[in-house]
Amino acid sequence: MLLTVDIGTSIFKSAIWDFEGSRLAFAAVPLSINLSDGMRHETDSGQWLQAFEDCCRSLAVSVPLAAVEAIVISGNGPSLVPVLGRPECTAKGLNVPAAPARLWLDRRAVQAAEQVSALLGNFVDAGFFLPKALDIKINEPHLYEKAQCFLGCPELLAFALTGEARTVFPSDGFERWFWNDSILERLGLDREKFPPFIRPGEVFGALAPQAAAHCGLPPDIPVISGGPDFFAAILGAGVVKPGQVCDRAGTSEGINACTGNLVTDQRLMSYHHPVKPFFNLSGIVSTTGKAVEWGCDFLGQTFDDFFALAQTAQAGAGGLVFLPYLAGERAPVWNPSARGILRGLSLSTGRPEFARSVLEGICCAIRDIIGIMEEAGAIVGELRIAGTASGSELLNQIKADITQKQVLVPRQKEAELLGLAIIGSCSLGKFASCAEAANALVRIEKTYQPDEKLAAIYDNLFGEYRRNRT
């Protein structure tokens, strides 16, 4: 059996799998975010460690954890944790002394990002690792000096479990967003604060005996890198050949297209796909699930009531246009100062139109990225939806109608966790390749076809969306 862990922005998820792709147990714990202003998005990384312990206790009710052969970890990013000391495991639990983690949403490193971008000759967003670390050195020198190393989100949990500090380098093509000795020297950053790289499928280290005993797991089993959460989701959605696209729907939305060749466009990211010899073409919308959460809070409704309300409105939401730029935006505008827009309000606008406009704005953002992918030469044949939001029939249908693409929903909604099982199975030699494992383990549950009768309505809405975002 495999224990897979995905540390989301708002939910810590875990599952136990057998090697036939059956999920034997599932556990999840909510996570909190500290928002001190519009630019700062922090969290206490200690809650990730506590959530791991809580999930192990919950999973142990259904399955014997003594039979687990490996742990596979992924998580949100690019998030940065300034680590202040060595991990320890006491009667109170796992602990890694650390300053607050700066989540991928954190936008305060804008000036540092300009410096990094100028040095590299490529745009590097303020949310990435190097700008965050440089910003700490410039603006919080005391914290920088205290930091023993900087780790990402899944790496922090792996450090607590194994005592080994590593940085996950997802795949070839990511060089522009990471570092080497020369870059660190030119930025005046200390090399020893940046742990060595490992790749997805490689081992962080063995599970330390004290941590194993505390969590009820076998000692010395491998703790395996699953890569970033989107990397695992691509495999868990079965996106393993050109023309297939993974729409990973969570707090943010990652659109990842498998391409047969390298496609370059400055508005998108491109690098090697988890399945060789293909490439991955990616665009990320920063606040999609977060926009729905904001809409629910704005109307004082639950998620279910919010979606039910949206369903009562007509397609096009009475002419409302919503841009979900609630915390800056990544693709395609790459502007940390971008802000959301709600345009087209009238006396006939009601709560149903507002709710539907939020959902349609999210889907227009997805179409925006897909359109740029196709302009750049990529083929987009179908969307495979991953993440908790894939359980919404209304949102899935709106995605199909606005993008005019077929939408497929896998049986396993938590595609990150299944993708981690695929990566772990390959790492342990159960399958010859990730493509073989994905083809064997991923099953499609439902398909949504675009409604051609709504094409004109949504073409007009999307035209308004693009005019407003430029």
Strand residue runs (E) in 265-378: 269-272, 279-285, 321-323, 341-343
Amino acid at 163: G
At 388 the pLDDT is 80
CATH of 2-231, one of 3.30.420.40, 3.90.1150.10, 3.30.365.10, 1.10.3720.10: 3.30.420.40
Is 258 in contact with 273 (CB distance < 8 Å)? yes
Angle, CA 43 vertex, CA 41 and CA 49 arms, to 5° = 155
**Beta-carbon contacts of residue 292 (< 8 Å; ≥ 6 apart):** 303, 306, 358, 359, 362, 389
| pLDDT of 277 over the 80 cut | yes
- Give the pairing type, strands 2-7 and 70-75: parallel
Could you report the per-residue pLDDT of 96-106, keeping only the tens digit for each?
A: 999 999 999 89
Measured between alpha carbons, how far apart are the two ends of the chain, in Å? 50
CATH of 237-405+450-470, one of 3.40.50.300, 3.30.420.40, 3.30.410.40, 3.30.465.10: 3.30.420.40
Could you report the per-residue pLDDT of 212-237, keeping only the tens digit for each?
A: 999 999 999 999 999 999 999 999 99
**Beta-carbon contacts of residue 445 (< 8 Å; ≥ 6 apart):** 409, 410, 411
The domain locations on the chain are 2-231, 237-405+450-470
DSSP one-letter code for 163: S
- Give the pairing type, strands 149-151 and 81-83: antiparallel
Alpha helix stretches (DSSP H) within 376-433: 393-403, 415-427
| pLDDT of 250 over the 90 cut | no
Residues 190-202 as b/e (b if ≥16 CB within 10 A, e otherwise) read eeebbbebbebbb
At 95 the pLDDT is 97
Average pLDDT over residues 173-181: 91
The DSSP annotation for 128-152 comes to SHHHHHHHHHHH-HHHHHH-SEEE-
Mean per-residue pLDDT over the chain, rounded: 95
Could you report the per-residue pLDDT of 306-349, keeping only the tens digit for each?
A: 999 999 999 999 999 999 999 889 899 999 889 999 999 999 99
Strand residue runs (E) in 273-399: 279-285, 321-323, 341-343, 382-386
At 302 the pLDDT is 96
Could you report the per-residue pLDDT of 125-163, keeping only the tens digit for each?
A: 999 999 999 999 999 999 999 999 999 999 999 999 999
Give the predicted TM-score (pTM) of the model.
0.93
pLDDT bin (cut points 50, 70, 90) of residue 385 is very high
| pLDDT of 36 over the 70 cut | no
Average pLDDT over residues 240-269: 94
Three-state DSSP state, 259: strand
DSSP one-letter code for 196: P
Is 232 in contact with 226 (CB distance < 8 Å)? yes
